[in-house]
A and B are shown apart, each in its own frame.
Chain A
Amino acid sequence: MSWEDSLLKQAREIIDMYPQKRSAVGPLLHLAQSKDGYISDDSISVISKLVGITEVQLKSVSTFYSMYKQEPTGKYLLSVCKSISCEINKSDEIIDVVKDFTGLNNNETDKNGLFTFEAVECIGACGGAPAMQVNYETVEGLSPNNTLKLCEWLKKELPEVVVAEEMQEDFGGYKSFDWAISDQSGTTGSVPGFQTLKTTKERN
């Protein structure tokens, strides 16, 4: 096993939350993703032992879900929605801007490990279409111009914590609903920022 003790401790705490060990597979794979930016063979080996299933069983779970990446992702995962409400609100233009700026095709990561681009299915921001997520933090009401500015900002400022509210204020537009509550929490990697995974922080 080559996970550090602190990570193993965290993993065991997650396992203890569930009546059966195997239920922890989902969050443990998120944890693995937060460690390496993808699900490495090493993580598969560690997790399979922790929960008591074979590596093959675990691999078949890990490859089923689109958020568990099988190859290393960049610091910023750019997920542009292309489902129906975004589609009819010209999400193709947003996708083109991101592709042009990053030079990436769908599901590709740049050589510097800065950006990964993906065109994704519905992210539940249909009222603010077109919309995208950066490391699962949502920005709604995008224009091609503001999308470009958002990409430039990420590249220049390299924010450590990606915060939806900050991006929405500077680059977003019409929202699905009034977010109302001031929220400076965000994510620190290409995983959902979530307390249990310790992948969320407040912006300074």
Chain B
Amino acid sequence: MKETLLLTKHMRSNPEDSHLIEVYEKSNGYKTAKKVLLQESPEKVLEEIKDSNIRGRGGAGFPTGIKWGFLAEDEERYLVINADESEPGTFKDRILLERDPHQLIEGIIITCFAANIKNAFIYIRGEYAKPARRVQNAVEQAYQKGYLGKKIFGSDIDLDVVVHLGAGAYICGEETALLNSLEGRRGEPRLKPPYFPAVKGLYMKPTLVNNVETISSVPWIVENTGKEYNKLGVEGSTGTRIFSLSGHINTPGNYEIEMGSSFGEFVETLGNGVRNGKDVKAYIPGGASAPWFRGDQLDIKMTIDDVANNNSMLGSGAVVIMDEETNLVSAAKSIVSFFAHESCGQCTPCREGTTWLEMILERVASGRGRTSDIDLLLDVCDNISPGLSWPPKMTTICPLGPSAVSPITSLMNDFRDEVESLIPTKILL
């Protein structure tokens, strides 16, 4: 198994200075944007994106071309880049922001041209201070060169880009919460309908919200055509994808690969195997929100559809390996605590449910569990996501609450013995 470098090619070829505009231009950077703006039509660009069959890299996997096609007509439209990467296990956007910010800006220019947008925002999570500085520097360089601002590349097109820092709320990765946050409000998700960003987004105007990796892919797709991109990977999961590999693995890191290989192959080749030669007890295929797979399920293919067919999700592309010695109850507790901390508090099942799940798991993990706790856990989960099915049924505005249910259903379905073994069978008085 080898990497296929599209998005990470420039940064790999110029490790020390890939962030500078002059170096990016030497790698043919901004040529595509310039050519598109001066010679091509927005329809042609949209056609290429549709032909590529690229699906959003933020987690939901929605086809990007269709998303762009939904954008309602209006004088005032916006593009918002979702760089609020906070899903535990995920650090792929960080490398794109830190090491190739101009690729993202070129993607923004092409996207705004295709969608007739004059204002774009890059919403970067507050904790990503260094990546935000790099992007800000890059934006300033692009302005100086006339690639942003008025009449860019000598065309009659204007485009302004603002880099906006978040302030430590995972929920702002949810697109409507992000828009509220960018409007200076609490980062609480909006109800869909009616607040589909493509119709009523930022300032109630039509807005495209796209992930960093998605928009960073745009220059390659437009330069090499959507058809070429569509040839990479497999049907339904075309192109390359940057997977963040972490956990008990010999060489954690970001790896750009074509989708379609198995998780086991990924772990053994690019990950160089499990640390200390141990076995995999369980692994997370797509970030903390995704239900886990067992160690004997490493033959599942890394595609959006294969993972979905096995009742989990490829999500943000974050693969977390847990070896045979991992205390899975503590691991689940860590994930549930995360969601309890990040719940925005609007919906009762999520706000109360995640807190309850955290308390019960804490009790079980510390050996003070009660025999009724397993049923109680499942009951609370059922109140957040009725039926505990996948994809989850919702009682909440956004999927954060149901995401907290994922690790618990994984524990109960596959590792119930481990939970039960932690619960004292007799209470000593």
A residues near B (Cβ < 8 Å) are: 17-20, 22-27, 29-30, 51, 53, 60-61, 64-68, 79, 82-85, 87-89, 120-129, 133, 136-138, 164, 174, 176-183, 185, 187, 192-197, 200
Contact A87 B334 (CB under 8 A): yes
Between-chain CB contacts (< 8 Å), 10 pairs? A19-B119, A20-B183, A26-B166, A64-B344, A66-B167, A83-B288, A84-B320, A85-B247, A88-B334, A122-B170
Contact A84 to B165, CB < 8 A, known contacts A64-B186, A136-B127, A176-B253: no
Write the chain A residue with the least CB distance to B86.
A122
- Select the stretch in B12-20, B38-46, B379-387 that faces chain A: B12-20
Name the interface residues of B237-259: CB closer than 8 Å to any CB of A: 244-248, 252-254
Given A20-B203, A176-B252, A182-B16, residue A122 in contact with residue B88 (CB < 8 A): yes
A122 touches which one: B87, B129, B322 (CB < 8 A)?
A: B87
CB neighbours of B330 from chain A (8 A): 87
Would you call A181 and B89 a contact (CB within 8 A)? no
A179, B19: Cα distance in complex, Å = 11
**Contact A196:B136 (CB < 8 A) given known A20-B203, A138-B130:** yes
Known pairs A185-B133, A192-B165 / 18 extra A-B pairs, C-beta < 8 Å: A23-B182, A26-B167, A61-B185, A88-B320, A89-B247, A121-B88, A122-B89, A124-B90, A133-B127, A176-B94, A178-B15, A180-B11, A180-B15, A181-B134, A192-B128, A192-B132, A194-B132, A195-B136
B419 at the interface (CB under 8 A from A): no
Q: Which of B295-303, B335-343, B350-358 contacts A (4 or more CB under 8 A)?
A: B335-343
The residues of A that contact B132 with a CB separation of less than 8 Å are: 192, 194
Given the complex, which residues of B lie within 8 Å of A195, measured CB to CB?
133, 136-137, 140
A187–B127 CA distance with the chains assembled, in angstroms: 12
Let me know if B320 and A64 touch, CB within 8 A.
no
The interface residues of chain A lying within 8 Å CB-to-CB of B334 are 82-84, 87-88
Q: How far is the CA of A197 from the CA of B71 in the complex (A)?
A: 33
* B interface residue numbers (CB < 8 A to A): 11, 15-19, 85-91, 94-95, 98-99, 119, 125-130, 132-134, 136-137, 140, 162-170, 181-187, 203, 244-248, 252-254, 284, 288, 318, 320, 322, 326, 330-331, 334-335, 337-338, 341-342, 344
- What's the Cα separation between A65 and B169 when bound, in Å? 6
Minimum CB–CB distance for A37 against chain B, Å: 15
Known: A26-B167, A61-B185. A127 touches B130 (CB 8 A): no
Q: Which of B130, B254, B335 has the most CB of A within 10 A?
A: B130
Which residues of chain A have C-beta atoms less than 8 A from B203's C-beta?
19-20
